[in-house]
Amino acid sequence: MFLSEEKSKKLKKLSAAASIGLSAGLTLLKLFAALYTGSLAVLSSLIDSLADIFASSITYVAVRFSSMPASYGHRYGYGKAEAISALVQSAFIAGSGIFVLYDGIYRLFVPAQIARLETGIVIMGVSLLATIGLICFQKHVAKKTRSLAIEADSEHYTVDVVTNLSIIVTLVLVSWLELSWIDTLTACGVAAFLLFNAYKLAAKAVGTLTDAELGPDIRKRVCEIVLESPFSKGIHDLRTRDLGGVYMFEFHLELDGDLPLSAAHEMTEIVEDNLLDEFPGAQIIIHQDPAGIQEERLDNKLVRGK
């Protein structure tokens, strides 16, 4: 069950603020570690943490903006600000990955001395544990609020877990085997992973901004709820989209054609209330149709258009 709109807004703001605080603290730690050890792998993680500060700040602004109530000029609300935030995050992540990749290739030709690896290992271990804690909280928030911005931030920090763990392994190997090229190789791998993650975030954000349909499980559940009412004769032309953590459903509800308008309206209200029980805060538009009527339907047009 999803949270109420007010609780959802508060939880999203708390999550965004927590990610800014954590990324700022980890940036300072990693800056010390990068300067102290000279490790490119640690430097790549530092660059990623700098990106985290920027990305999390954008997330915080987007969450506050998307929480504004609908206005005369924006009657669907401002929820898609979160998708714009995710798109900007993906661009910044991609830029960070390109920078680290360039520096990694450069160090293949101009090796750098790496020293005092024990300090780097300890700092990266602390960073790993703190990031895991934040991700657990963000996953909980994203699940409860359906926030694309928080989900994007969580996916970004999930990448951090992988990179931090790989960097710890790298520092251990460099310390044991004294092969500095392993450090460069790991940094290049981190960069490639950053670029891949940026692509995934961008694809999802673009899907929301271009009104991609919600998942088949949500569409199926909407149909089930509508048809659970004994007076519902059918549903067609269902269209769904994500307004930025708020779902929107539009569909035609098939009812007995002999019903008076007032009765049809009351039945439609019942269906809408049932949907809101499952999807709090959803925006719902229902058009009543007499059951069995012959008409040109969107469902048929879409099938022909494939």
CATH code for position 225:
3.30.70.1350
What is the domain range of residue 246?
216-304
Predicted confidence band of residue 217 (pLDDT cuts 50, 70, 90): very high
Q: Where are the alpha helices (DSSP H) in 67-180?
A: 81-109, 117-145, 148-177
Q: Please tell me the predicted confidence (pLDDT) of residue 110.
A: 59
pLDDT at residue 232 tops 60: yes
pLDDT at residue 178 tops 70: no
Which of the given ranges, 13-17, 137-141, 249-253, 276-280, has the highest pLDDT on average? 249-253
What's this model's pTM, rounded to 2 decimal places?
A: 0.64
Domain identity same for 26 and 131: yes
16, 149 in Cβ contact below 8 A? Answer: yes
Domain identity same for 133 and 249: no
CA distances in angstroms from 165 to 91, 186, 224, 229, 248, listed in the order given: 24, 11, 44, 52, 40
Q: Please tell me the predicted confidence (pLDDT) of residue 140.
A: 79
Domain endpoint, select from 168, 184, 209: 209
Domain identity same for 44 and 98: yes
Domain identity same for 135 and 279: no
Q: Please tell me the predicted confidence (pLDDT) of residue 117.
A: 62
Q: Please tell me the predicted confidence (pLDDT) of residue 286.
A: 96
pLDDT at residue 4 tops 60: no
282, 275 in Cβ contact below 8 A? Answer: yes
Domain identity same for 179 and 283: no
Question: What's the domain count of the chain?
Answer: 2
What average pLDDT does range 126-135 have in this prediction? Answer: 83
pLDDT at residue 181 tops 70: no
Nearest alpha-carbon partner for 235 in 245, 225, 243: 225
Domain identity same for 41 and 127: yes
pLDDT at residue 113 tops 70: no
Which residues are within 8 A (CB) of 174 and not within 5 positions of it... i.e. 6 or more apart? 39, 114, 117, 180, 182, 183
Which of the given ranges, 59-68, 191-200, 236-245, 269-278, has the highest pLDDT on average? 269-278
Q: Please tell me the predicted confidence (pLDDT) of residue 255.
A: 95
What average pLDDT does range 246-263 have in this prediction? Answer: 93
Tokens for 34, please give them.
Answer: 């990068």
Domain identity same for 203 and 250: no
Phi, psi of 250 (to 5 degrees): -130, 130
Taking all residues of the chain, what is their mean pLDDT, rounded to a whole number? 79
Phi, psi of 224 (to 5 degrees): -60, -45
pLDDT at residue 112 tops 60: no
What average pLDDT does range 82-97 have in this prediction? Answer: 80
Predicted confidence band of residue 250 (pLDDT cuts 50, 70, 90): very high
Phi, psi of 235 (to 5 degrees): -140, 140
Domain endpoint, select from 187, 209, 231: 209
Which of the given ranges, 52-61, 116-125, 292-301, has the highest pLDDT on average? 292-301
Domain identity same for 115 and 161: yes
Instruction: Please give the DSSP secondary-structure letter assigned to residue 34.
Output: H
Predicted confidence band of residue 183 (pLDDT cuts 50, 70, 90): low
Domain identity same for 225 and 274: yes
Domain identity same for 16 and 164: yes
Residues 85, 91, 94: CA angle, nearest 5 degrees: 140
Domain identity same for 18 and 126: yes
* CA-derived radius of gyration, the chain: 25
Give helix 40-66 / helix 181-209 axis angle, nearest 10°: 20
Q: Please tell me the predicted confidence (pLDDT) of residue 262.
A: 94
Q: Please tell me the predicted confidence (pLDDT) of residue 123.
A: 75
Which residues are within 8 A (CB) of 198 and not within 5 positions of it... i.e. 6 or more apart? 90, 91, 93, 94, 97
Domain identity same for 249 and 173: no
Tokens for 191, please give them.
Answer: 């960069």
Tokens for 123, please give them.
Answer: 């700092």
Domain endpoint, select from 209, 225, 256: 209
Look at 78 and 3; give whichever has higher pLDDT.
78
